[in-house]
Amino acid sequence: MMKIFISHSSKNSKFGQAIVDLLLSVGVSSNQIIFTSNDAFGIPNGKNIFNWLKERITEKPHVIYLLSPEYYSSIACLNEMGAAWIIENQHTIIFTPQFNSSSPEFQNGALDPREMGFKINNVDRITEFVESLKQYYSISTNPVLINQKIRKFIEDVNNIESQNIIKPITNRFRDVNISDKEKLESKLIKEPLKKSVELKTESNQVNKFFKDLQEDKLKDEEILLLHYVNDTARYKLGVGWKSTGEIENIKVWEDVNSLNSKLSTSYDDIMRRYDFKKLTEVSEFTSSGNPREVILIPDLRELLLDLPTDILSQIKKVADRNPKIISSPSRNFGWVEEEEEEEEDLPF
């Protein structure tokens, strides 16, 4: 039977545990739930964390995305989301109380923002969610019991929210706690660095692309696009009239990562290069039959989930040589170009 995988940030583990408790109380079996912040539902002893999680995702579970500002600040969570999205899991989108569904992270992320998510403390939508599970799981048919459990869940969620101290996210890519979930997230980031440079793909164009990357034959912009896709888990990219929106997304990403505007200013040209190299395929057309969205080919998408250390090092090297340049006033009231202070090295 299909398992339920709760994709979440460790910083939202109390909300995640409340979902687990609700699922158990309405009839979902404990062996059908995967929740890595609780040892009873997490990683078995002796198992490799990264491989174990990948195995669970490829089993095509029902994924509950518990989205929050903390979720979008974690590279590991975004990788998790990208892996689940690629294999087209059935999923439910639930927002923490403080999450703004109009945020650029959600509107421009891997999940389709047109799909209706809901706040975790919305009693009507939680009731609908529980009802929808009856198609796949042995949910109680006692409406009084269901109602009691949902009311208890909403009470727990509101208590958690009232106890929370909201802190600003100062770095999208830095988790400082060392809870079990954080160790998992850290492992997810670091594990690919142990791989050799050999690429496990039969795609000639993908092999040629990465061979050129290793031999410094690619334009910086081509590698920066790869960095953008891998960083944001956006495997579908706007072209044609939709390229304007994609470029705006890239500008936000460049700003967050203190990068110059090399990618955003040459985006259309780079997309034509990717098309010429047969690294993309059209995923959406306009009413007149023109491409408005493309997706990276399957072999490239799969490889991006687990890049070798040499490739990651090459991507980082390109990012390092493309820092944002800011203008600041000199002593003679002219303007000089200064580089922003470099951020701490990141594992990608």
Please state, in angstroms and rounded to a whole number, the distance separating the CA atoms of residues 84 and 7.
Answer: 9
Q: What's residue 234's pLDDT? A: 83
The token pair at 81 is 């989301």
Catalytic residue set: 80
Residue in 49, 306, 56, 317 with CA at minimum distance from that of residue 194: 306
pLDDT band of residue 200 (cuts 50, 70, 90) is low
188 vs 119: which has the higher pLDDT? 119
Query: What percentage of the chain's residues is helix, strand, coil (to nearest 5)?
Result: 50, 15, 35
Q: What's residue 9's pLDDT? A: 92
Q: What's residue 329's pLDDT? A: 52
> Are 228 and 319 spatial neighbours (Cβ–Cβ below 8 Å)?
no
142 vs 189: which has the higher pLDDT? 142
Please state, in angstroms and rounded to a whole number, the distance separating the CA atoms of residues 27 and 139.
Answer: 5
pLDDT band of residue 336 (cuts 50, 70, 90) is very low
Q: What's residue 156's pLDDT? A: 94
> Are 242 and 294 spatial neighbours (Cβ–Cβ below 8 Å)?
no
Q: What's residue 310's pLDDT? A: 85
Q: What's residue 46's pLDDT? A: 65
Highest mean pLDDT (candidates 42-46, 59-63, 126-130): 126-130
What would the pLDDT profile of 56-103 be if each residue is shown by its tens digit? Answer: 666 788 889 999 999 998 888 887 787 766 665 688 999 999 899 888
> Are 301 and 86 spatial neighbours (Cβ–Cβ below 8 Å)?
yes
Give the count of beta carbons closer than 10 Å to the beta carbon of residue 175: 22
> Are 77 and 71 spatial neighbours (Cβ–Cβ below 8 Å)?
yes
- The average confidence (pLDDT) of the chain is 80
Average pLDDT over residues 93-116: 84
At 194, the amino acid letter reads K
46 vs 131: which has the higher pLDDT? 131
State the DSSP string of 274-334: HHHTT-EEEEEE-TTS-EEEEEE-HHHHHHHTT--HHHHHHHHHHHHTSB-EEEEE-TTS-
**Residue 139 pLDDT exceeds 70:** yes
At 117, the amino acid letter reads G
CA 18 from centroid of its chain's CA atoms:
22
Q: What's residue 169's pLDDT? A: 45
The token pair at 20 is 């687990």
302 vs 139: which has the higher pLDDT? 139
**Residue 348 pLDDT exceeds 80:** no
**Residue 207 pLDDT exceeds 50:** yes
The token pair at 43 is 């990683």
Which domains are delineated in the chain?
Answer: 4-189 (3.40.50), 197-339 (1.10.10)
> Are 259 and 227 spatial neighbours (Cβ–Cβ below 8 Å)?
no
47 vs 39: which has the higher pLDDT? 39
What would the pLDDT profile of 225-274 be if each residue is shown by its tens digit? Answer: 999 998 888 889 999 999 999 999 899 889 888 999 999 999 999 999 99
CA 200 from centroid of its chain's CA atoms:
23
> Are 59 and 32 spatial neighbours (Cβ–Cβ below 8 Å)?
no
318 contact partners, CB below 8 Å, separation of at least 6: 220, 223, 224, 227
pTM above 0.75, yes or no: no
Query: Percentage of residues in the chain with pLDDT exceeding 90?
Result: 41
> Are 130 and 150 spatial neighbours (Cβ–Cβ below 8 Å)?
yes
